[in-house]
Structure 1
Amino acid sequence: MIASVIEPPGDYQRLLGHVPIGVMFVARTASHLDFAHVFVRERATLGRHLQDLRGRIRPSGMIWVSWPKRASGIPTDLTEDVIRAEALRHGLVDVKVCAIDATWSGLKLVVRLRGRG
């Protein structure tokens, strides 16, 4: 699995935990990604990242978007609904949501079936 992480928090290794054998982390500009994890705080940044990543993930790949929870105290203009709407603009749909920790939430995005060509 080829993976890339964009703008991770300082404690990302702790958040991630055990990395399975076969996962290879590559530079944020690599293509043919199976997995991308992007941490964002602003809608404008989210749009740029999704546009970029949509062109670099494999049709069967995934993008996890993480954003600060409101209770975290980190300023953000993102919500789950904002991320879903922005994802749709880029041909992506959400298939899973999770709480990563007390600070971050996560939404898993995949390419829409009709866009997998």
Structure 2
Amino acid sequence: MRTSKMPGYSGTPLAKKLGVKAGTVIASINAPKDYTQWLAPMPEGAGHRTIAIAQASADAAVIHWFGTERAALAEALDPLGRAIFPDRALWISWPKRASKV
């Protein structure tokens, strides 16, 4: 797979910055369409899947939630918090104000 660098991003692979380890899964919710490409290269045996908020309790070691509205984040926090307890990671991303999204 060809790696695609995320616009404006440093040289460190996104998967590494997010803490994705070999043999683990990162799950994304509401991710941009190019997100899988942004994750490349992934550690050996690591994988990515897109899930719905209701599936957040799956076996992913890292969950990455994307949103644009504060109300959606407030609604998502409780199920996401339960999904990552006690030893998983959660990343929350939203557009910069300058993006006008």
User: What's the TM-score once normalised by structure 2's chain length?
Assistant: 0.62
Aligned length: 74
Deviations 1:30-65 (A, max 9, x none): 424310001110011112222111111241211111
Structure 2 CA distance for aligned equivalents of residues 58 and 24 of structure 1: 21
Residue of structure 2 aligned with 1:39, choices 66, 88, 91: 66
Structure 1 CA distance for aligned equivalents of residues 95 and 30 of structure 2: 13
In structure 1, runs of 5+ residues without a counterpart are: 75-117
| Structure 1 residue 22, shift from structure 2 partner | 2.6
Asked if the contact 1:37–1:65 (Cα under 8 Å) also holds between the matched residues in 2, the reply is yes
| Structure 1 residue 69, shift from structure 2 partner | 0.3
Structure 2 CA distance for aligned equivalents of residues 49 and 33 of structure 1: 17
% identical aligned pairs:
34
Residue of structure 2 aligned with 1:24, choices 47, 52, 57: 47
1:72 aligns with 2:95: no
Partner amino acid, structure 1, of 2:81: R
Q: Over aligned residue pairs, what C-alpha RMSD do you find?
A: 1.9
Instruction: Give 3-state SS (helix, strand or coil) of 1:50's partner.
Output: helix
The structure with more strand, counted as a fraction of residues: 1
Structure 2 CA distance for aligned equivalents of residues 26 and 16 of structure 1: 11
More contact order relative to length (CA 8 Å, sep ≥ 6): 2
Structure 2 CA distance for aligned equivalents of residues 38 and 31 of structure 1: 14
Q: After TM superposition, what 4+ stretches of structure 1 lie above 6 angstroms from structure 2? A: none
Asked if the contact 1:2–1:23 (Cα under 8 Å) also holds between the matched residues in 2, the reply is yes
The aligned residue for residue 77 of structure 2 is 50
Structure 1 CA distance for aligned equivalents of residues 87 and 40 of structure 2: 24
